[in-house]
Amino acid sequence: PARPVPARSAPKPALVPAQSFESLPGYKELKLQRSAADLIGLGNPFFRVHDARAGATSRIDGQPFVNFSSYDYLGLNGHPEVNAAAQAALATFGTSSSASRVVAGERPGHLALERALAAHYGTESCVAMVSGHATNVTTIAALMEPGDVIYHDALIHNSVVTGAQLSGAQRRSFAHNDLGALESLLHATRHEHRRALIVIEGLYSMDGDAPDLAGFVDLKERYGAWLMVDDAHGLGVLGRNGHGLHEQCGVEPGRVDIWMGTLSKTLSSCGGYIAGAAALVEFLKCTAGGFVYSVGMSPPLAAAATAALDLMHREPERVARLRRNGALFLACARERGLDTGTSLGLAVVPVILGDSLKAVTLSDRLFKRGINVQPIIHPAVPERSARLRFFMTSEHTPEQIRETVTALADELDELNQGGSLVERLMA
Ligand code: PMP
């Protein structure tokens, strides 16, 4: 029999060769920004190498700095009790959990931390994971799926957006802290979806403001949604004792379905946690990829976080000092006519400049005066909200705060004196 003639296939287009990493669009923009900064003699404000524990002060290149770039809100990083707890765990368990807790098993320090966090929120249970970012991503991706909907604040952290994208659920953002905008969205779209999750933060890390928790609880109850609060920056900061957004707003923590937080701020460690119902935690421990397929927390880091949480509860005067420092910074900044946006004057105070070049220049000038503070520039924020962002700690002194605001306002006045900034910097 005649052999079948193979059908003539259309010629395939030539393969595109693998491209160089330098051609990635984000990389090109970065390089362009850096070259522009080099041209006008501005140092790189990012990735500075600290040779000391970075809290209210630090050392960079052997020089002392007043530091406003660490989340060490209550000055607990390096505290003798925190270090001792980490060292004891280190001596017994070494540095690593060496595999996922599912297979390598628990260490007592994991369970102690989770019990302490569950007790803090009055929840049935808690699970701690190796990274705050990964905690949001994996929790949201495990809980939600196509057909569901996630409503989140427009300024929500990247990890929530990434988790929402990964989940395949519909993602809808509402204007920052705007209960009316969320209610309109819920009214118009909630019925189209099976499960709904609302995600907000406790203290917003760019603006230093906080939501009206009671209002969000009311909406989630009326529209049949779960409410998740990422209180990464609220723990140790919000409420008279620093217990978090619920204390600040006078709302029972049990009215929030999912409490999320990180261990990298007030708790001077590294990792994230979810506190809530036993079924939620059990579900995540069996299904969330970032927990099941990732190593358990390093035992010394778990012990450090537990010790820091204990100190936070025992020494509320740290919270009071932090809050006084934030209020002082805000008052001094306003007195000098600086734009601090919607900041409540707690742990985060931005000074909004509306110009990335101005923000980088000001950061550079302050650095030369012994003050370390980072600019937040486009594309991290829209150009009109480019800013310097100050993180307060309980350990800053009132003098350091007053001197910083004076230096900042004086340098800004000087920069604002006539002519284009680029021309003056190039001169
Ligand atoms: N949530 C919020 C609100 C954050 O600001 C951050 C990071 N600063 C994270 C989650 C991620 O936490 P971590 O840095 O501990 O991974």
DSSP-assigned letter for residue 50: B
pTM of the predicted structure, to 2 decimals: 0.94
Does position 427 have pLDDT exceeding 80, yes or no? no
- Whether residue 303 is found in the same domain as residue 193: yes
Task: Give the residue, out of 72, 130, 159, with the most ligand 1 atoms within 8 A of its beta carbon, to mutate for a pocket test.
Answer: 159
- Whether residue 266 is found in the same domain as residue 342: no
Q: 3-class DSSP state for residue 382?
A: coil
For atom 13 of ligand 1, the residue with the nearest CA is 132
Asked if 220 is an active-site residue, the reply is: no
In angstroms, the Cα distances linking 305 to 77, 97, 99, 129, 396 are: 10, 16, 20, 12, 22
**What distance in Å separates the CA atoms of residue 315 and residue 123, rounded to the nearest whole number?**
23
Q: How far apart are the first and last CA of the chain?
A: 87
Q: What CATH number does the domain containing 379 carry?
A: 3.90.1150.10
Ligand 1 touching residue 262 (CB < 6 A)? yes
98 lies in a domain? yes
Ligand 1 touching residue 70 (CB < 6 A)? no
- Whether residue 338 is found in the same domain as residue 228: no
Q: What CATH number does the domain containing 87 carry?
A: 3.40.640.10
Which atom number of ligand 1 is nearest to the Cα of residue 71? 8
| Confidence (pLDDT) at 3 | 74
| Confidence (pLDDT) at 306 | 98
Query: pLDDT for 344-372, tens place per residue?
Result: 999 999 999 999 999 999 999 999 999 99
For atom 16 of ligand 1, the residue with the nearest CA is 132
- Whether residue 52 is found in the same domain as residue 140: no
Query: pLDDT for 275-303, tens place per residue?
Result: 999 999 999 999 999 999 999 999 999 99
Rounded to 5 degrees, φ, ψ at 293 are -105, 20
- Whether residue 144 is found in the same domain as residue 290: yes
Task: Give the residue, out of 137, 200, 264, with the most ligand 1 atoms within 8 A of its beta carbon, to mutate for a pocket test.
Answer: 264
Query: pLDDT for 165-183, tens place per residue?
Result: 999 999 999 999 999 999 9
11 lies in a domain? no
Asked if 385 is an active-site residue, the reply is: no
Q: Residue 247: which domain range?
A: 80-314
Q: So what's the ipTM on this one?
A: 0.99
Ligand 1 touching residue 131 (CB < 6 A)? yes
Beta bridge partners of residue 79, listed in sequence order: none
32 lies in a domain? no
- Whether residue 86 is found in the same domain as residue 230: yes
Number of Cβ within 10 Å of residue 258's Cβ equals 23
Select from 288, 314, 340 the last residue of a domain: 314
Select from 267, 293, 314 the last residue of a domain: 314
**Ligand 1 geometric centre to CA of 132 (Å):** 5
Asked if 205 is an active-site residue, the reply is: yes
The count of domains in the chain is 2
20 lies in a domain? no
12 lies in a domain? no
18 lies in a domain? no
Select from 258, 291, 314 the last residue of a domain: 314
Catalytic residue among 133, 233, 246, 358: 233
Ligand 1 touching residue 205 (CB < 6 A)? yes
Number of Cβ within 10 Å of residue 403's Cβ equals 16
- Whether residue 296 is found in the same domain as residue 334: no
DSSP-assigned letter for residue 386: -
**DSSP letters for 293-346:** TSPPPPHHHHHHHHHHHHHHHH-HHHHHHHHHHHHHHHHHHHHTT---TT--SS
Q: Are 259 and 231 in contact (CB under 8 A)?
A: yes
- Whether residue 90 is found in the same domain as residue 141: yes
- Whether residue 54 is found in the same domain as residue 105: no
- Whether residue 104 is found in the same domain as residue 229: yes
Helices (H), 226-298: 245-249, 278-287, 289-292
**Ligand 1 geometric centre to CA of 254 (Å):** 23
Ligand 1 touching residue 82 (CB < 6 A)? no
Task: Give the residue, out of 157, 176, 273, with the most ligand 1 atoms within 8 A of its beta carbon, to mutate for a pocket test.
Answer: 157
DSSP-assigned letter for residue 384: G
* CB neighbour list of residue 310: distance below 8 Å, 6 or more residues apart: 81, 116
Catalytic residue among 120, 246, 265, 358: 265
31 lies in a domain? no
| Confidence (pLDDT) at 43 | 85
DSSP-assigned letter for residue 200: E
Lookup: tokens for 411: 């340098």
- Whether residue 272 is found in the same domain as residue 401: no
DSSP-assigned letter for residue 364: H
Residue 154: which of 206, 212, 90 has the closest Cα?
206
- Whether residue 276 is found in the same domain as residue 217: yes
13 lies in a domain? no
Q: Are 408 and 351 in contact (CB under 8 A)?
A: yes
DSSP-assigned letter for residue 376: E
